[in-house]
Amino acid sequence: MGHWRRQTEHWLASEELGEGASDDMLGRVFAALPPVQPSQDFARHAVQAVWQRRARQRRVTAVMTIAASVLAAASGVLAYVLLGGASGWLIGSIASVATRPAGPLLVATATAVEWWADLTRISSVIAGVVAMPQNTLTLVGIELAAGGALYALHRLLRGDGFRDPGPLCL
């Protein structure tokens, strides 16, 4: 432990004096430092700690699941005791009202997903057609012709007095 401290003091002294050998001395300091190595049992202890944590997490999850089930059952029994015979009717009504819209909702969701899938197929086909080089050139030509036609129409309408002769705006 003392060897690297002596080397550090020599290095700091050479730095203060401005000697050119300070880089050499710094290399000696790092060479004198003891290597940092984990103990032989480090990996075993780390893996054992991870397995214990996972086992504890599984136990907590199991206990919480059982506690939630017991709480749900106890609340059902309590409702039955407090409400008497009406509790069966009440629970049946709640279940009926809660599940009645489930069928149409599932059908609507399935239909929406089918429509979405069809639209994605159609849009990918359209994108493939538009991205073809000959179609791209044709589309650019059509856009230029349409722009020219709009400009000519604007000039014609401006000359007939339909608009005030003002600045050019499309």
Q: In whole angstroms, what separates CA 104 from the centre of its chain?
A: 31
pLDDT at 45 over 80: yes
- Residue, of 16 and 108, whose pLDDT is higher: 108
- As a whole number of angstroms, the distance between CA 163 and CA 169 comes to 11
Q: What is the pLDDT of residue 109?
A: 85
* Count of CB atoms situated within 10 Å of the CB of 160: 7
The residue ranking higher by pLDDT, 163 or 109, is: 109
Q: Look up the pTM and report it.
A: 0.32
Q: How far apart are the C-alpha atoms of 68 and 74, rounded to whole Å?
A: 10
Tell how far CA 25 is from the center of its chain.
51
Lowest mean pLDDT among 20-24, 131-135, 149-153, 158-162: 158-162
User: What local confidence, expressed as pLDDT, does residue 44 receive?
Assistant: 82
**Beta carbons within 8 Å of 151's beta carbon, 6+ residues apart:** 170
Q: Cα–Cα distances in Å, from 166 out to 148, 158, 162, 170?
A: 19, 9, 11, 12
Q: Residue 39 has what DSSP assignment?
A: -
24 band by pLDDT with thresholds 50, 70 and 90: confident
Tokens of 106: 């599932």
* 142: pLDDT strictly greater than 80: yes
Residue owning tokens 């049946």: 92
| Residue 141 confidence class, pLDDT cut points 50, 70, 90 | confident
With bands split at pLDDT 50, 70 and 90, how would you rate the model's confidence at 169? low
Please give the residue that has the higher pLDDT: either 149 or 20: 149
